Every structure is written in C-alpha cells, then in structure tokens.
Amino acid sequence: MKYAMLPQLDTKVSKICLGTMTWGQQNSESDAHAQMDLALDLGVNFWDTAEMYPSPPDKDKQGTTERFMGSWLAKTGRRDEVVIASKISPMSFLRDGQTRFNKDHIKSAIDDNLKRLQTDYIDIYQLHWPERQSNFFGKRSYDEDMSAQDLSELTPFLETISALNEEIKQGRIRAYGLSNDTPWGVMRYLWEAEKHHLIAPITIQNPYSLLNRLYEVGLAEISHREKIGLLAYSPLGFGVLSGKYLDDKRPAGARLTLYDRYERYINEEAKRATKAYAKIAQEFDLDMAQMALAFVNSRPFVTSNIIGATNLSQLKSNIDSINLTLSAEVMAAIENVHQKIPNPAP
C-alpha cells in the first residue's frame, strides 16, 4: 500500500480508501466485517462512511452502514489502526428534512454518528453536500433557481466553521472536510477560517473518474495551492469503468441493474467513452477497472481514492490497483479520449 500524509493531523492515510455505502443494501453485516478485515490486512487504513448510508438512501435502513462498522470496531478493538471519515447529510428523512450546518444539528448528528460507530471520535467529519443549491450531483448548468437563492436564509459559513472547531476542541472530531462542493464554496470556507483564525477544512470528497474529470477545472488548483486533498469518489463511475455494462449488459445484482437512478453514468456519450477506454485496456493488456483506478491514484491532487465493492475478490482487485503504474503511452491514449469526449458523466 502507498500512503499520503495529512499534515494537519500528522497522520498517514492509505491512498486507497474503503468505501462503505453498499453495506446494508447490497452487503450484509458479515460481508462488511469481511471487507474491513481484508482491507486492513492489505494496508487500507482509511475508511469512509456517512450518517445517510447505505445508498441509495432508505429511511428504514439509514445508519446501518455506521452500525456495521461500529460492531466490527467493538468486536476487534482495532479502532486505533484506522482513520475514519463520516458525514452529516442534509437528507429529507434526517431531522425532518430541515438539516442545517449549525451548532445544534452538527452536535446532534455527531452524537448519533459516534453512538452507531461505537467510538469516541471521528477523524475527519464531512459536510455531505452544501445546504445551498449548486451544480453538483450531475448538474452541468447554473440555473435560475440557483442564482435566485438568498444565502442569508442559510447557515452562515462562520457559524458552521465555529461549530466544527468546537467539536475539534472537544475531541469528538479531529478535523473536518467538505463534499460535493464547488470552487466558490471551498474558497469561502478557507477564507472565513483564515479571517477568523479558525481551523480550516483539510479534504474535499467529490466525484472524479475517467468519465468525470471536472474536478480539474478550478478545484484541482485549490487542492494544490491550499493543501486541501481530494477524496475521490465514484472512481469507476458506479462500476461502468469495469466494463461490465458494455454493449448494454445488465449483470444480475450489479448496482446499475438494481438502481436506475444513476443513469447519468451510461448516457450515450458515457457509453462511447467507456468503449474507448475499454479498447485502451485491451490494447495494453490491462484490467479495465484497475486501469481506471490507477489513473485516479496517479493524480497529484488526490489524497485518497474511495473504492467500493460487493464481494471480496472485487475488493482485492480494486485495492491492487495501487500497484499499477500506467505507462506514458497509456496516459497519452487516455488523454486523447478525454479530449474527444470530455466529462460525459458529471
């Protein structure tokens, strides 16, 4: 395994992060425990979860993923060997759909996170997506509803930062990060924190893959210059970049077979790009999923690459991508496809 340093925490995290959002939907508690055992054995010490999980969201199953992780931590006693990231989520069935990133809601959410995880602290606590409307979750445009928002009706940035700083002082979280945010949002958090001499966010969790490299437009430079690392999620585009959906296949039990809400990963342009990437993998005798993950692993602004799996063989193969270095020829071929079909699945 390879590791990245989080200088703000003086902590090393694995360049591969264990994603957990299938636990409780596609994976049982015993499956989850087996994944945690294998991941840690292979050097993956960084695990990501959220109060909302499993995903797709389900009111009756909400929090199951954290409970599975918590039962493993209680059973093994290995809490000090792992770095755990979790999130507060503005979901309709949480806090009556009125979630605000204010002191009361952040405290309430962390109370519940810690209880489910059976731990005294969370290493990185993330704001799952902004309170404000913006162009995330597949939105390319900035529409009238977004531009008409009155931000004075939302929680002030300073209030959110102050609440998270207080949680750090109390030792209930060690650091905090953002997720699904925009360049403006990230810089606003950084500016407010600097202005008021408060601790700033240290990571941002956004989508990044061969099918969605929008992070490179604006946010990558922020990562570089402000030392706020990307935790890349959906690096396989919900499994599309494994090649298993090529030629309109729908494998039994696969995520896009079960849940059609993620169709943006298989629009016509995404299909065309995926075929082109599959051709590169075939030409250079590479496993397609490992090639896609190795590309993400190689990016200098990526702190960790969040991979998920529904079985152990898939998990091991994805983790093994850390040992693959793509040649200059492969990288040039990937860039050629990107220039022709840029970001087909935002």
307 located within any domain:
yes
- What crossing angle do the helices spanning 183-195 and 219-226 adopt, rounded to 10°? 30
Question: Which residues in 110-258 belong to E strands, given as ranges?
Answer: 122-127, 173-179, 203-207, 229-233
Residues of the chain with pLDDT under 70: none
Residues 53, 208, 245, 262: which is the catalytic one?
53
313 located within any domain:
yes
- Structural domain for 12, as ranges: 3-239+299-324
Q: Compute CA 18 distance to the chain's CA centroid, rounded to the nearest angstrom.
A: 10
* Cβ contacts of 145 within 8 Å, gap of 6 or more: 133
pLDDT (0 to 100) of residue 152? 86
Q: What is the CATH number of the domain that holds 98?
A: 3.20.20.100
176 catalytic residue (yes or no): no
Residue type, 110: I
Which H/E stretch holds residue 257?
helix 255-258
259 located within any domain:
no
pLDDT (0 to 100) of residue 77? 98
Write out pLDDT tens, residues 159-215: 999 999 999 999 999 999 999 999 999 999 999 999 999 999 999 999 999 999 999
pLDDT (0 to 100) of residue 144? 81
pLDDT (0 to 100) of residue 145? 83
77 located within any domain:
yes
260 located within any domain:
no
The residue among 31, 96, 21 whose CA lies nearest residue 57 is 21
Write out pLDDT tens, residues 69-88: 999 999 999 999 999 999 99
Which tokens go with 333?
Answer: 């071929």
Count of structural domains within the chain: 1
339 located within any domain:
no
SS (H, E, C) the chain: CCEEEECCCCEEEECEEEECCCECCCECHHHHHHHHHHHHHCCCCEEECCCCCCCCCCCCCCCHHHHHHHHHHHHHCCHHHCEEEEEECCCCCCHHHCCCCCHHHHHHHHHHHHHHHCCCCEEEEEECCCCCCCCCCCCCCCCHHHHCCCHHHCCCHHHHHHHHHHHHHHCCEEEEEEECCCHHHHHHHHHHHHHCCCCCCCEEEEECECCECHHHCCHHHHHHHHCCEEEEECCCCCCHHHCCCHHHCCCCCCHHHHCHHHHHHHCHHHHHHHHHHHHHHHHCCCCHHHHHHHHHHHCCCEEEEEECCCCHHHHHHHHHHHHCCCCHHHHHHHHHHHHHCCCCCC
12 located within any domain:
yes
343 located within any domain:
no
